[in-house]
Chain A
Amino acid sequence: MRDALTVTDVFRWRRPGKVVTAVCVFLMLPLALCLSCDSASKQQARQAKQQQYILIGALFPLTGGHCDEGIRAFNGLQQARSDINDAGGVLGKKLDIIILDDKGDEEYVVRQYQALKERGVAAVIGSSFSDVTMALARAAEGDGIPIISPTATNPAVTEGRRNVFRVTYLDDVQAAVVAGFALRTLSAKTALVIRGDSRFDALADVFSAAFNEGGGRVAGAERYTGPAQFDDILKKYKSRRPDVIFCAADYVDAAQLAEAVHSAGFEGTRLLGTDAWDGILSFAHNIDAMERVYYAAPFAFDEPDPKITRFSQAYFDNFSYTPISTAALTYSAVQILVAAMEKHGTEAGGVKPGSASLVDVIRGSEFDIITGKIRFDENNNPISPDSYVHIMQIKGGYYASVEKIRLNGRVDK
């Protein structure tokens, strides 16, 4: 007969069950921990991180003849992305911008737009020039994806397209402002109007009309096909030098014109242009020749507005150069989109890529951007009563603002 159970007996007869279980647990523990450390979980985390981005696209001429403009836009986008994400992103997510090169080509831009669409962008910012932007607008016509061009000035780009917006002012506005500036500030009496290809006809016409209307006299109207013709044109007016020369062309041609005018010895003759001249210094070789250049721009880095100062300072810190309109307007375009998304997303709990509603939000909202508060008219052109058109002048090889004119016509100095 067994004696009464002792502690040892209990240990011997009962405990082994628990001990065996404990042993099993000890054996399983490291296995479980190993599994938990598996890289699969890391991948999941990465995917989750990717999904936290809100993607928008951008199309600019990063290469080719107008790459300087594209790179400025590139810089503006980089800064916008950086600033917005630093400020907390969009709808609690990070903003990401995929910038593709459109080479300033009307066909290539369409291809790149398709590529962006495939990557699921919510909106597209671009491009720099009206003709390329027009091609883009046409390609995006049926998609409903908001297209915001920072600098396309041609009214036709947005006309009749609900989803295509512009941030800059229309050519005619600028031309009128410049004409007023010439008459009023520069006290110009005569003007030579030079135009490049037909794209700039409207611009030249608006200036001519406004200058004449303001009391001046358009002494001559010339058309050129290439910058080499500038010397010949100038020769014709050497004897009767106009007070101002308005050139409806881009900044590359404008720079050459300035050189040509300087070489031709047209002292006292000022050169006038619109925001298409912004960036003219990129092609300036003779700084002295640039001293007579005046052009209208929707943005001036030295505007004593805290928003602008902050932006400009940051831009300078990042890229070692002061920002010009392209960078600022591109930056503003991002601001507009982000604000619209924030507004739209609060209701739907998320961005609905390609939905018409985002376009509606843009169309129906007012946006506080660097250059002031704006909203869009029926043709998606910016209406900004409090905003200025700045007259920029090249001084000592740098951009500087001379005068700012409210869109309602009041001139601030």
Chain B
Amino acid sequence: MIRNIRIQVRLLVSFFAIAFITMLAGLTGFMSLRSIGDDAVKSIAALNVLNDMYDYNVEADNGIYYMLRFRDSLIREYLDNVTAERIGKMQSFMADFIALHQSRFRHIFTPGEEQDMINLLQIYNETYLPILNEIFELHDNGDTERAISLYERRLDPIYCAIYYSVGNAFDKVFESTQETVSSNSAHASASAAFLVMMIFASFIMAVILTLVVTRSISTPLEDIRRTAEKMAHGSLDVDFKSGSGKDEFSNLAASLNETVHQLKQVQQLRMEAVESRHEKEKAEAATIAKSRFLAKMSHEIRTPMNAIVGMAELAMRENIPPAAYDQVQTIKQAGANLLSIINDLLDFSKIESGKLDILPDNYAFSTLINDVTSIIKTRIIDGPLQFIVDVDDNIPNELYGDEVRIRQVLLNILSNAVKYTENGHIRLVARGETVETKEGVSVNLTISVTDTGKGIRKEDIGKLFGEFVQVDQANNKGIEGTGLGLAITWNLVKAMGGDITVESEYGKGSTFTVTLQQMRGKSDTLALKRGARAFVAPDAKVLVVDDITTNLKVASGLLAPYSMRLTMCESGAAAIKAVSEEVFDLVFMDHMMPGMDGIEATKRIRELGDARFEKLPIVALTANAVSGMKEMFLKYGFNDFLSKPIDTIKLNMLLDQWIPAEKKVEAVDPGNFKGSEVVDIEIPGINAKNGVATSGGTVKNYLQTLAVFTKDGRKKIDELNKALEGDDLHLYTTYVHALKSAAANIGAYRLSESARVLESAGNEKNREFIRANNKRMLGDLEAILKGIDKYLAENAETQSGDVDINAVKDALAKLNSAIDEMNVSAISEAVKCLKQFTNAKNIGAEVDNILQNAMVGEYDEAAEQAEGLIKALDGGSGNG
């Protein structure tokens, strides 16, 4: 009940109740005492009046008596002066008394007694005083005897009557006063007793209220404290008794109960967390141990494996019986597979032990895509697979991120696609969305790889990125792999802050989509990095050795911006000859060449006997971008190593390192080192954009490369056919290998891939496969060559750079006259004609400008510019 009342209210009510009782006690005491005092004062006033009456009566009577008895005139005088006054007072006293009597002493005096006082006053006035006057008169007249007689016989009896009544009244008042006093005394003691009782009552009540209120506060507080103490000792299994009240404590208890409930949950969660952390730590410790073991073992295995693979490669170059060659090749192939597995394991162990570091840096996206596609194409070159690359033009070329890891991710996904796809196609699509962020411009990359392979069962998609997982193993027998690829991929993507998803329909194919956010790189930084520093070296002499003319062309294209003096050789022997005849600053030596390969040639150059041959920087060129290669080449006497397709950045760094400093001149036009130009070349089977990127970044170079490729390609068709007819698989494989990289260089990835497949078939001595697929591959090659021819023929004029100035002038003139005549169809005809010159050297931009104006209706402007250009061309031709 009392718990329904709020504490504040309880305290207030108690306080006011105590205060009220105390106040009441005080008030009652005050009133009692006041009434006691009042009664006493009134009684004493009445007694005073009576006493005065009595006194004056006696005095007056005595005065008269003495006056008469002693016949003293002095007394008479005195009586005249004083007694008369006293008599007057007597009258007023009596009147006062009557008034007092009537107002105050009705309870003492009876109506008769009251009337007596009135009578006495009357007697006094009407009888006593006249007689007194008579006495005075008699006295004054000397008739003292009569006066005495009158006094004794008449005045005195009246005086006695008055005396009696006043005395009586006095007695009564006195008695009443005594009664009043005694009753007041009783009253006072009653009041005092009452007061004491009240004080006691208020004390008792204060005690009770204090007990009740404090207990109503302290008991629940004590409950709460006790319960809280239990809690403090660690027990959460407590209940704060909230009761059914509505006061603060009930609310507090309810809140505390809720808190306890929450604490219990928190405690449970924490215990679970501790348990799970414990288990996680155990698991992590196990994982770390495993990873360390793996790392150790991988390292221990890798070193001899390098030797095995290297030695197998060397053995294959020896003149050994074909059966042994096959066995050695198998050893090499198996070794390579094993190495790849070990690499995967190493990566994975790094990931697991948390040592996987993401090292972001500026890089060229185009190069990344090129590298990846090149490698993948080599794998599918001889299969029926189509590899389609679709890269969004809007993706900035300069990005900032960990290129190595992104490359690894893409290669993994693509390798997987290749592994599980037998027919159809694989599509690599890259899309980018540029976003402004606080840190700068970032690019949200979405790279997806779609294949038409076996697909993944729905139930397997979940475990796809798990470790050592190869789903649907029943249908994938014969497919090698550790099953770590996707796990590594997943971890890498996550480490880079990206995501990877997979959609798949079993039996129809899968799509892996990687989303990554890369910052936009600084182009100058990139440019600088590409060339370490941009330079030209007109006096430097460089020798490029490659058995494939396309590759030579590519190399010359790539080296062109450096304005160096280039010498090309198509074989190792030619290279030795060239080196001994001329002093070169740097030699690029292809690894795999028919006859004398790069390693042999280098070895011989070093053995030529002059110190300069020993110091001559020789850089290995190879398409086998397997880790550990560099070490191998260095061992064989090479100074450095450059993988094909050639990365311009690496090339630039390499040149910067090996070209003597005194021959390097600061580049005047760093624009030469820009990324890809706008590519508007459409040739079936060729990704021109990528081709441009791989052939030095300029369309001009690319077109020249294409031209060389057509010549080379026709020659290659004959050579391949011949090698096949002569059953020289080794030769065939070499040619196919060359074709593989040449095709990749120009962006003919499908062709490249087909070549790769045939190359590996050649390596495997799979004559049947080669015979079955060679023709198709050659057909593809033929088609591409035709496409290139056609394109080159169509764009010969414009793309040559040396445009027919007269044709331009004609077109401009036509446009001018059409504008003059305001012949719309003629204008559009002229515009169409002029369009082919928009890429023309020197004047392309101006032509474009004119076209823009013409197309938007600014004919006067267009005409004026056309006129100006014609004049300029006249002047230019004069100079040229």
Contacts and interface: CB of A to CB of B under 8 A. Distances in A.
Contacts of A27: 17, 20-21
A320 interface: yes
B107 A11 contact: no
Contacts of B194: 30, 33
A156 interface: no
Contact of B24 (A15, A19, A30, A321): A30
Contacts of B127: 62-63, 67, 71
A2 interface: yes
A158 interface: no
A49 B107 contact: yes
A322 to B, nearest CB: 11
B1 interface: yes
Contacts of B111: 50, 53, 55, 96, 98, 119
B2 interface: yes
B78 interface: no
Which of A282, A285, A287, A320 has its CB near the most chain B CB atoms (within 10 A)?
A285
Interface string A2-20: 1000001001110111010
A253 interface: no
A99 B115 CA distance: 7
B112 A81 contact: yes
Contact of B116 (A26, A34, A46, A78): A78
Contacts of B20: 27
Interface in A170-184: none
A155 B695 CA distance: 182
A283 B153 contact: yes
A30 B146 contact: no
Which of B20, B106, B116, B153 has its CB near the most chain A CB atoms (within 10 A)?
B153
A49 B216 CA distance: 56
Contact of A46 (B17, B106, B153, B201): B106
A321 B160 contact: yes
Contacts of B156: 320-321
Interface string B802-829: 0000000000000000000000000000
Contacts of A55: 111-112
A55 B112 CA distance: 8
Contacts of B154: 68, 282-283
Looking at chain B's contact residues, is the secondary structure mostly helix, strand, loop, or mixed? helix
A75 B17 contact: no
A12 B116 contact: no
Contact of B126 (A33, A63, A68, A99): A63
Nearest to B191: A37
Nearest to A56: B112
Given A75-B161, A101-B122, A319-B164, A37 B17 contact: no
A336 interface: no
B82 to A, nearest CB: 24
Given A62-B119, A319-B160, A23 B145 contact: no
A82 B146 CA distance: 35
Nearest to A60: B119
B336 interface: no
B25 interface: yes
A74 interface: yes
A43 B157 CA distance: 38
A31 B25 CA distance: 10
Interface in B1-51: 1-3, 17, 20-21, 24-25, 28, 31-32
A241 interface: no
Interface in B201-219: 201-202, 204-205, 208-209, 212, 215-216, 219
Contacts of A37: 32
Given A62-B127, A285-B145, A16 B161 contact: no
B28 A33 contact: yes
Contacts of B146: 285
Contacts of A62: 119, 122-123, 127
Interface in B110-137: 110-113, 115-116, 119, 122-123, 126-127
A29 interface: yes
A400 interface: no
Contact of B165 (A45, A78, A283, A287): A78
Interface in A62-115: 62-64, 67-68, 71-72, 74-75, 78, 81-82, 94, 96-101
Contact of A78 (B28, B122, B153, B164): B164
Contact of B119 (A74, A281, A282): A74
A318 interface: yes
A282 B20 CA distance: 72
B191 to A, nearest CB: 9
Given A27-B21, A30-B25, A67-B123, A97 B112 contact: yes
Contact of B161 (A22, A30, A71, A94): A71
B98 interface: no
A13 B1 contact: yes
B121 to A, nearest CB: 11
A64 B158 CA distance: 13
A27 B3 CA distance: 22
Contacts of A82: 168
A324 to B, nearest CB: 11
A250 to B, nearest CB: 15
Contacts of B153: 281-284
A31 B27 CA distance: 11
B532 interface: no
Nearest to A397: B152
B21 A26 contact: yes
A16 B205 contact: no
Given A68-B157, A319-B160, A30 B112 contact: no
Contacts of B204: 26
B198 interface: yes
Contacts of B168: 78, 82
B164 A22 contact: no
B122 to A, nearest CB: 6
A71 B21 contact: no
Which of B1, B112, B163 has its CB near the most chain A CB atoms (within 10 A)?
B112
Contact of A29 (B107, B160, B201, B212): B201
A71 B158 contact: yes
A16 B2 contact: yes
Contacts of A31: 24
A17 B4 CA distance: 13
Contacts of B24: 30-31
Nearest to B138: A285
Interface in B155-173: 156-158, 160-161, 163-165, 168
Nearest to A29: B201
Contacts of A53: 110-112
Contacts of B145: 285-286
30 contacts: A12-B3, A17-B1, A22-B208, A27-B20, A27-B21, A30-B24, A30-B25, A30-B198, A33-B194, A49-B107, A50-B106, A53-B112, A62-B122, A63-B126, A67-B123, A71-B123, A71-B161, A96-B110, A96-B113, A98-B111, A99-B119, A282-B157, A283-B154, A284-B149, A287-B149, A319-B160, A320-B156, A320-B157, A321-B156, A321-B160
Interface of B: 1-3, 17, 20-21, 24-25, 28, 31-32, 106-107, 110-113, 115-116, 119, 122-123, 126-127, 145-146, 149-150, 153-154, 156-158, 160-161, 163-165, 168, 194, 198, 201-202, 204-205, 208-209, 212, 215-216, 219, 241
Given A27-B17, A30-B24, A74-B161, 18 more contacts: A15-B212, A30-B194, A33-B28, A37-B32, A45-B107, A46-B106, A46-B107, A53-B111, A55-B111, A63-B127, A71-B123, A78-B165, A82-B168, A96-B112, A100-B119, A283-B153, A285-B149, A287-B149
Interface of A: 2, 8, 11-13, 15-17, 19, 22-23, 26-27, 29-31, 33-34, 37, 45-46, 49-50, 53, 55, 62-64, 67-68, 71-72, 74-75, 78, 81-82, 94, 96-101, 119, 281-287, 318-321
Q: Which 3 A-B pairs have the closest CB atoms?
A: A96-B110, A96-B112, A63-B126
